[in-house]
Amino acid sequence: MRTIVVTGAATGIGRAAATAFHTRGDYVVLTGRRADALTKAVDGLDERAVPVAFDASDPDQVTAALSQLPDRIDVLVNNAGGNTDFDHDDPTDLAGVAAAWRANLEANLLSAVLVTTALRDRLQPGGTVVNIGSIAADKGAGAYGAAKAGLASWTVDLAAQLSPTDITVNTLAPGYVADTEFFRDKLSDDTRQTLVDSALTRRASHPEDIAATVEFLASPGARQITGQVLAVNGGERTSR
């Protein structure tokens, strides 16, 4: 039985990934900022699913949570994040711009860096780190896109650092994923349809689609894949 840690696991992609690993028989630690939402996420699962509440972007909270996290970790999924620009109006001065950019960088890049650094010595040989990035890193989306681009770049460096201990590191870059809290219920029907139509599959991705790819990257069949960004976007943005 493997031990899995998933950040941002209360809802959406994180919850789907945690549930998928649990279904396979793994022991899963679900982390996130909201204790009540984590409790709901583990409701109906057995004792192999454990909630641990902390803010992954806060160094003090990450440090305080270490005693509640496993001593041996086989798979770390850095899913915590989201576009924090949806949480405020556009800034009108430089101080506001700086704060808005810092918020996205902390939520989407620093969170992964802090948690991975804190747990690095607990990652087991043959293990896997999966970072959840975004198509926005290539298409552009202000501070959010820049933060996810930084996450993709850091993935390359981390993969090189962890390769001597046989740990793979990759980033998944989803396109539009339905059934998440990402858009804060602010997505209009017209915009949603435009996003769906931009995919060659002509459908939205769902958290389970992303979770299935996370599972693959943590499987024996993916041991030769590391330092990569894998697009899971229905063909919205294609590669050679």
The number of residues making up the chain comes to 240
Q: In this structure, how many other beta carbons lie within 10 angstroms of the beta carbon of residue 25?
A: 9
Please give the Cα distance from 30 to 68 (Å, whole number): 11
Q: Is residue 49 part of a domain?
A: yes
Q: In this structure, how many other beta carbons lie within 10 angstroms of the beta carbon of residue 97?
A: 13
Q: Is residue 237 part of a domain?
A: no
What are the average pLDDT values for consecutive 10-residue runs of the chain, which has 240 residues?
97 97 97 96 94 98 98 98 85 94 97 98 98 92 94 98 97 89 71 83 91 97 97 86
Which pLDDT does position 236 carry in this prediction? 87
Q: Is residue 196 part of a domain?
A: yes
Which pLDDT does position 184 carry in this prediction? 65
Q: Is residue 71 part of a domain?
A: yes
The total number of structural domains in the chain stands at 1
- Is 27 part of the annotated catalytic residue set? no
Considering 144, 182, 217, 226, which one is annotated as catalytic? 144
CATH assignment of the domain containing 135: 3.40.50.720
Q: Which residues span the domain enclosing 19?
A: 3-232
Q: Is residue 238 part of a domain?
A: no
**3-state DSSP percent of the chain in helix, strand and coil, to 5:** 50, 20, 35
Q: Is residue 27 part of a domain?
A: yes
Which pLDDT does position 183 carry in this prediction? 66
Q: Is residue 239 part of a domain?
A: no
Which pLDDT does position 129 carry in this prediction? 98
Which pLDDT does position 37 carry in this prediction? 95
Return the structure tokens found at 16. 């789907």
Q: Is residue 130 part of a domain?
A: yes
| pTM: predicted TM-score of the whole model, two decimal places | 0.93
Q: Are 56 and 34 in contact (CB under 8 A)?
A: no
Q: In this structure, how many other beta carbons lie within 10 angstroms of the beta carbon of residue 50?
A: 17
